[in-house]
Amino acid sequence: MRVEIFPDAQSASRRSAELIAQWARQSLAERGRFVMALSGGTEPWQAFRMLSGMPLEWRGIQLLQVDERVAPPGDAARNLTHLRESLIARVPLGDAQWHAMPVEEPDLNAAAERYAGLLRRIAGTPPELDLVHLGLGEDGHTASLAPGDPVVEERDRDVALSREFRGHRRMTLTFPAINRARRILWLVVGARKAGALARLLAGRSPDPAGRVREDIATLIADRAALPA
């Protein structure tokens, strides 16, 4: 895993935005498309706003979600609410280019299957995303793959439902879908992440985050997130 450390969250966010833009341009030049899945949480919003100001051929980009809380439309808990504000509303992405996880459906398992089908239509069978963007929780979770949740062990589905975690069930990409990507980008900032980041950097972490492939991963962190 390639690791880059920056003085503060702002410079780490800018670097992550620059990398996404760089990889998007490469993919667009080589294959005429770029399919990325973006995570929620508070840390990436600044990076997504920075990305929105960078010159890109947005017409060749498809945007998916890594995970989403089961909550009503527009709810502050929804990753989509903040993804819209920080990126989607700021760039020329057509409605057919961004794809919200269907967490408002009454049958969530069927909805997860439909989203997995969408991945196949956009990114092939099995789906190979150009980029999966991930964050890191204090407890070592990533996406909505939390310690002790059976969804961590999912091997047959690319999209699945978690059990309730911090007040919400979630729809999430599973490790097979994440680890099939061409590239993975971690963005980890803040002192609260230091313990989980130490375990991840040490290798063979017992946390869910430790199951993410290292050979295709780049990790961007600020100094505050580094172990003491």
Q: What is the pLDDT of residues 102-114, one digit of tens each?
A: 999 999 999 999 9
Q: Give the CB-side neighbour count of residue 189, counting CA atoms within 13 A.
A: 21
Please state the pTM of the whole predicted model: 0.96
When pLDDT is averaged across residues 23-46 and rounded to a whole number, the result is 94
Mean pLDDT, the chain, whole residue set: 96
13 pLDDT exceeds 90? yes
Compare 204 and 56 and report the one with higher pLDDT: 56
User: What is the predicted pLDDT for the residue at 25?
Assistant: 98
Write out pLDDT tens, residues 140-179. Answer: 999 999 999 999 999 999 999 999 988 899 999 999 999 9
CA–CA separation, 75 vs 71, rounded Å? 6
User: What is the predicted pLDDT for the residue at 191?
Assistant: 96
| Total structural domains within the chain | 1
Measured at the alpha carbon of residue 2, what is the angle toward residues 159 and 194, in degrees to the nearest 5? 75
User: What is the predicted pLDDT for the residue at 139?
Assistant: 96
When pLDDT is averaged across residues 111-118 and rounded to a whole number, the result is 98
Residue 152 belongs to a domain with what CATH number? Answer: 3.40.50.1360
| Single-letter code of the amino acid located at 51 | L
DSSP 3-state helix, strand, coil percentages of the chain (rounded to 5)? 40, 20, 40
Exposed, middle or buried by CB within 10 Å (0-12, 13-18, 19+), for 113? middle
Candidates 39, 59, 44, 47; CA nearest to 18 is: 47
228 pLDDT exceeds 80? no
When pLDDT is averaged across residues 121-138 and rounded to a whole number, the result is 97
Exposed, middle or buried by CB within 10 Å (0-12, 13-18, 19+), for 203? exposed
The band of 203, judged by pLDDT with boundaries at 50, 70 and 90, is: confident
Percent of the chain with pLDDT over 90: 93
Give phi and psi for 204, each to the nearest 5: 55, 40
**Range of the structural domain that residue 61 is part of:** 2-225
Rounded to a whole number of angstroms, the distance between the first and last alpha carbons of the chain is 21
When pLDDT is averaged across residues 1-8 and rounded to a whole number, the result is 98
User: What is the predicted pLDDT for the residue at 43?
Assistant: 81
